[in-house]
Structure formats: C-alpha cells, structure tokens
Amino acid sequence: MRQTAATRATLIACQLLLAAFVLLPFFWMISVSLKPATEPFAIPARLWPEDPTLANYVTAFRPEFRTYFLNSVIVSGASVAITVSLGLLAAYSFTRGQLLAVTALMSAVVLAQMFPHSAIIIPIYRMMRAADLLNTYTSLIAAYVSVTLPVAIWMLRGFLMKLPVSLEEAAAIDGAGPLRIFWDVVVPLARPGVIATAVYVLIVTWQEFLFALSFTSTREMRTLPVGLNDFIGQYGIRYGELMASSVMVSVPVIAVFFVLQRYFVAGLTAGAVKG
C-alpha cells in the first residue's frame, strides 16, 4: 500500500498521541518515586522533581519488600509452570482429539473464562478454607492456575492448530509413541506459543490483588501487589515510597517481556512441509 506523506504524518502523530496517553501514568509513577517526601503535592505540580532522589527506593527496599518479592516469584513461577504444562497437554488433546466429548469440554473451557474473578472468589475461598489451605502458597497457586488455565488452553490451542499434522505422522512412522511425539515434535514447535502463554500467566499473576489479599493473612505470605498496601496508612499515603515500590514491582515483568518478545513472532515451522 502506498502512503502519501500527509497520511504518514497523521498516522505517526496518532501513534505518538496514543503512546503518550498510555505511558503518562508510568512517567508519573517514576517521577513521583524520585521526588523527596515533601514534593508530591507541592503546588504548582512539577512534571519532573526539582532535586531527584533515590531516598524513596532505599526505604521501599525494606526486608518486607524482599519477602513479598520472593513470595511473588514463588507463586507466579509455580503458576506459570503448572498452567503452561497442563495447558499444553490439554490444548494438544483438544487439537488432535476427535471425540465429541472433547468439543463439549472445549466449550466448557471457553465458558469458564467468562466468569469474573470477583464472582468465583467466594466459592474458591470456601474451598480453600475447607481444605485448610488458607494463607499458603498452595491456595494462591491453585486459584491462579484455575483462573489462567482456560485462556492458556485457548491460546495454546491456537498455536497447535497451526502445526502441520504430517510432522506427528512422520514421527509415528519413525517409531515414536504418543508421548515421545509430544515431547520431541509438538513441544519444540509450540515454543513460541508456550512462551507467549507463559508471559500471559506471569503478567496476570504478578499483579493479582484480590485473591492474594483474601487468601493471605500474615506478612510472611503476602505478595507484592498486596504489599504495596503497606504504604497506605490510616492517616495518609506515602506516595514517594509507594511509587518507588511500584517501579520495582513493574521492572521484572517489563524485563521479561522485552527479553522474550522476539518469540512472539512465530516462524519456527519454516521448511517443514512443501509450500
């Protein structure tokens, strides 16, 4: 498609506007995190602090933060591992299985992802309490797996459906059994899909607040999003430290995203089958 200089300029202007709209809160977060305690509400408000300081980061990086961070890593990491593994196996059978029951189950999966978290939190809470699992990693991981799995299955199925069946047929002829085919052929080829799904689960669970707040009752078990609450006191909000913590919470996810984004471009099946 040919573009005139004018359309191009308009497009770029629109993109910049959109980017500014999306990025402004992040900029504000960073700006506030660098302001001394007295400044956030100074009038007139400044876009960028007069004397930037890292003091907020020093206070925000307290021992509790480190505990919360570790908890988040454990809970998110386990959720990613479990959801992606289960999701891949389920998606594979949903892709290649031909039973009528499979179609019905897939519809159930689609339906399952339509319930908002707030609608299912009470039943899940009661189940966790009955199983005596409240205030454990297990309760959070179980909840996270159950809310992310439907979308994960859906995403992975989309990837698997694009894999040519003849590769699995070739492996079967070469003597491989179903599990071997899955491991040697399907998993390597599904890698872009696996990574995209893992990033999705990571983003959802890393920032999850509602379950984390409801299911944990002690500081030792809190995750980062809940931990941010510590700065919201009865008599005031310590914005500088809150924003410094927020930056530290965001950085790992953003870093993971940048490192892995090249995998989102699927292209691994090049050369498998004739045109």
Binding site for another protein (CB under 8 A): 164, 166-167, 169-177, 180, 184-185, 188-189, 268-274
**Alpha-carbon dihedral sign for residues 106, 112, 114, 117:** negative
* CB 86, CB 145: distance < 8 Å: yes
**Lookup result for tokens 């960073």:** 30
By three-state DSSP, how is residue 209 classified? coil
Q: CB of 102: closest distance to another protein in angstroms? A: 18
Q: How far apart are CA 72 and CA 221, in angstroms?
A: 9
Q: CB of 207: closest distance to another protein in angstroms? A: 33
Q: CB of 167: closest distance to another protein in angstroms? A: 6
Closest listed residue to residue 53, CA positions, set 33, 73, 76, 71: 33
* CB 58, CB 240: distance < 8 Å: no
Residue closer to another protein, measured from CB, 169 or 220: 169
Q: CB of 82: closest distance to another protein in angstroms? A: 25
Residue closer to another protein, measured from CB, 101 or 270: 270
Q: How many CA atoms lie within 13 A of 227 on its CB side?
A: 28
Terminal alpha carbon distance of the chain: 25
Residue closer to another protein, measured from CB, 233 or 271: 271
Residue closer to another protein, measured from CB, 29 or 172: 172
Q: CB of 274: closest distance to another protein in angstroms? A: 4
Closest listed residue to residue 271, CA positions, set 153, 189, 177, 186: 189
Closest listed residue to residue 243, CA positions, set 32, 69, 11: 32
Residue closer to another protein, measured from CB, 61 or 263: 263
Q: CB of 160: closest distance to another protein in angstroms? A: 15
Q: 237: which strand partners?
A: 232
Residue closer to another protein, measured from CB, 74 or 102: 102
